[in-house]
Structure formats: structure tokens, C-alpha cells
Structure 1
Amino acid sequence: MKLYGLKTCDTCRKALKSIPDAELVDVRESGISEAVLTRALADFGAALVNTRSTTWRQLDARARELPQLQLLQSHPTLMKRPLIERDGDLFLGWTPQTRAALGVD
């Protein structure tokens, strides 16, 4: 199981504490593959982009108009976190629904 997020993100830390066998992929350091981003965008659409983040607020209007895939590749910290990949399935956020689907908490 892979958890895409940030090692400094409190929500990602909570998720890792609940699923200690997950491998953290820090998107700030390692980025995220185009294949994973494409699948996540297909599954979650606009919800994948965190428009409440500091990174989003720092972008100019022109940058915000970029296609979502290009925007997330250029600014991986814009991704809503965590994005969890387990056995080919993707889960977004650390919501009660995600925890129930993963069988934790």
C-alpha cells in the first residue's frame, strides 16, 4: 500500500499511524507518476486539487487555468492528501469512508 502525501502533513501522519505498513511517498521530494495522477484525476476529478491550500493561493490566475494534470505535475503539493493506493484501488483523503474501506480505525 502506498500513501502519497507529505511527511509534514498532519493528516498524512494520522493515516500512517493507522496503517503503519503503508509506504509514504512524499510528493514534494519524489513527485507522483503521471500514471497515478491520471488514474486519480479520472476517479476524483476536480476534488483532487486542493483549492484551499497555501500553494493554490500563491498561484496566479494564469497558472490556475492550466490543465489539472499539468498543474499537479508542476505543483504536487496542490494534491488533496493523502492519496492512498491499495491493490489498484485509490482512496482520497482521510475520511471516515476511506478508513472504513481500508478497514482501519
Structure 2
Amino acid sequence: MTITMYGITNCDTIKKARVWLESRDVAYRFHDYRAEGIEADRLDGWVGKIGWEKLLNKGSTTFRELPESDKQALDENKAKALMLAKPTMIKRPVLEIGDDILVGFKPEVYQAAVGGK
């Protein structure tokens, strides 16, 4: 089972999720949005599986700093364009576990999904 965590290194929630995985010897690859960006096809796949509403972090500093015109009349296409332009607007972490996707960090959800020691 291949696990990839998507996020940014200085995010507190990312740090908690990484510590949780590492303390249970769960192998994963970390993908930093700031350094590597996000591919449109991958974002499309996530949106198709879980919806853009679950992925777009309206509470993020990046989203809050957008002009009001960018925040209005949000739909899937506009939300995807915003997240592609500024991936820090994607909720963190996104964990890909094979074909499954988890958004956010809850220890009990991670435990059920990946186990670990």
C-alpha cells in the first residue's frame, strides 16, 4: 500500500499527522505543495471523489486574503482554479492511501485506515 501525504511543512496539523504516522512506523511519502505544487489531474481526481467543498479551506490565510470577487460565486471550476493557483488553500493534510483519500487529521480515522504498530 502506497501512502502519500500532501501539505506544507510548516502546518501544525501536518506536523501532528507526520508524528502520528512515524510513531507507528507507517511508511509514507510527503509532497510539499509549496515546493512541488499540485497537478490539475490529481486535483480533479480528488474533487471527483470527495468534492471541492471538502478540499477548499475557506479558513486558510491564503483564502481570507483573496479579493472578495474571488470568494464570490464559488463553484467547482472556480474553486479548482484557486487551489491550483495557490495550493495552500487545500485543506491539510490530504492523505492518499491507494485509491482512498483522507482530508484532515483525526487519529482514530488514521488508525482505521492505516493501522500501524
Identity in percent? 31
The question of whether the paired residues in 2 share the 8 Å contact of 1:64 and 1:71 is answered with no
Aligned to 1:57: 64
List runs of 5+ in structure 1 lacking aligned partners: none
Larger RCO, structure (CA 8 Å, separation 6 or more)? 2
Aligned to 1:83: 94
Q: CA deviation at 1:44?
A: 2.4
User: Would you say 1:17 and 2:19 are equivalent positions?
Assistant: yes
Instruction: Tell me how far apart the structure 1 counterparts of residues 43 and 87 of structure 2 sit (CA, whole Å).
Output: 10
User: Would you say 1:69 and 2:80 are equivalent positions?
Assistant: yes
Q: CA deviation at 1:53?
A: 0.9
Instruction: Tell me how far apart the structure 2 counterparts of residues 104 and 68 of structure 1 sit (CA, whole Å).
Output: 34
Aligned to 1:8: 10
CA RMSD of aligned residues (A): 1.7
TM-score by length of 2: 0.80
The number of residue pairs the alignment matches comes to: 105
Task: Describe the shift of the 1:7–1:87 C-alpha distance in structure 2 as closer, same or farther (beyond 3 A).
Answer: same
Instruction: Tell me how far apart the structure 1 counterparts of residues 59 and 113 of structure 2 sit (CA, whole Å).
Output: 25
Task: Describe the shift of the 1:59–1:99 C-alpha distance in structure 2 as closer, same or farther (beyond 3 A).
Answer: farther
The question of whether the paired residues in 2 share the 8 Å contact of 1:92 and 1:98 is answered with no
Which of 1 and 2 has greater Rg?
Answer: 2
TM-score by length of 1: 0.88
List runs of 5+ in structure 2 lacking aligned partners: none
Task: Describe the shift of the 1:103–1:71 C-alpha distance in structure 2 as closer, same or farther (beyond 3 A).
Answer: same
36-45 or 59-68: bigger deviation: 59-68
Task: Describe the shift of the 1:29–1:23 C-alpha distance in structure 2 as closer, same or farther (beyond 3 A).
Answer: same
